Amino acid sequence: MKILIIEDEHKIANSIKKGLEQEHFVVDVAYDGMEGLDLVLSEEYDLIILDRLLPSLDGIEICKKARAKGVHTAVILLTAKGQLTDKVEGLDAGADDYMVKPFAFEELLARVRALLRRPKSTVTSVLSVSDLTIDTASYEVKRDTKQILLTQKEFMLLEYLARNKGKILTKDQIINHVWDYESNILPNTVEAYIMHLRIKIDRNFPDKKPLIHTMRGFGYMIGERG
């Protein structure tokens, strides 16, 4: 899953990014309010961690503008201002949660997981596609009870496909969601990772129906066909 951090204090932003990446999240960082808003409006994220006091545009305004543009991504607002009126203002602006600095990363991570567990179209801890199961908490993947070992990036790709089961995803959509904004990824990189997943999930189970499909001229889809 993909998270955006908008925080002008580089040390804090980079520390959060490192911690989240160790938990298998894809993370983008913006150190400026306007840059952050541009990413919010142009990229697809599962959650946004947003500092309140930012250069060029503060977090409250980013939240308001994002909601006005129809962006419903979950937002955790970070701030050194912990008065009740400050919290109410942040929540009224559209934030889903509020944390006062300084905070423990473990608490932030727990709040991230709690927000990502909230019901929306496909957010669950265990995803299934036919007899394939993907546990997003333990990172365990099984097909027909047999465990499948994946690399971190293979897992991220499979999770994204599974969360969009039955939908055709273009290479650009996959690149934007599975790799961070600064990665220089070519379309044939996606092809290579799809091939690796096919070997592990389909070809290693010759008696089972293939689950990963190429939709020529469009992209890729996971699910049973015919």
Class for the domain spanning 2-116: alpha beta
User: For the chain, what are the domain ranges?
Assistant: 2-116, 126-222
Distances (CA, A) of 58 to 14, 63, 76, 78, 117: 19, 9, 14, 11, 27
Q: Which residue type does 163 have?
A: R
**Domain 126-222 class?**
mainly alpha
Residues 30-66: tens digit of each pLDDT = 999 999 999 999 998 999 999 999 999 999 999 999 9
127-162 pLDDT, tens digit each: 899 999 998 878 899 998 899 999 989 999 999 999
pLDDT at position 181, please?
Answer: 73
- Predicted confidence at residue 58, as pLDDT, reads 93
Of residues 10, 18, 95, 81, the one with CA closest to residue 50: 95
Q: Which residues are CB-neighbours of 172 under 8 A, at least 6 positions away?
A: none
Task: Give the angle 64-23-186 at the CA atoms, nearest 5°.
Answer: 80
**pLDDT tens digits, residue range 153-208?**
999 999 999 999 999 999 999 998 898 876 778 889 999 999 999 999 999 999 99
Whether the pTM exceeds 0.85: the reply is no
pLDDT at res. 189:
92
Half-sphere exposure of 226 (CA within 13 A, CB side): 4
Question: How many Å apart are CA 94 and CA 66, to the nearest integer?
Answer: 9
Q: What was the pLDDT predicted at 138?
A: 81
Query: Is residue 81 pLDDT above 80, yes or no?
Result: no
User: How much is the pLDDT for 122?
Assistant: 42
Give 75-79 contacts, CB < 8 A, sequence gap 24+. 75/47, 75/48, 75/49, 75/50, 76/47, 76/48, 76/49, 76/50, 76/108, 76/111, 76/112, 76/115, 77/50, 77/51, 77/52, 78/7, 78/49, 78/50, 78/51, 78/52, 78/103, 79/51, 79/52, 79/53
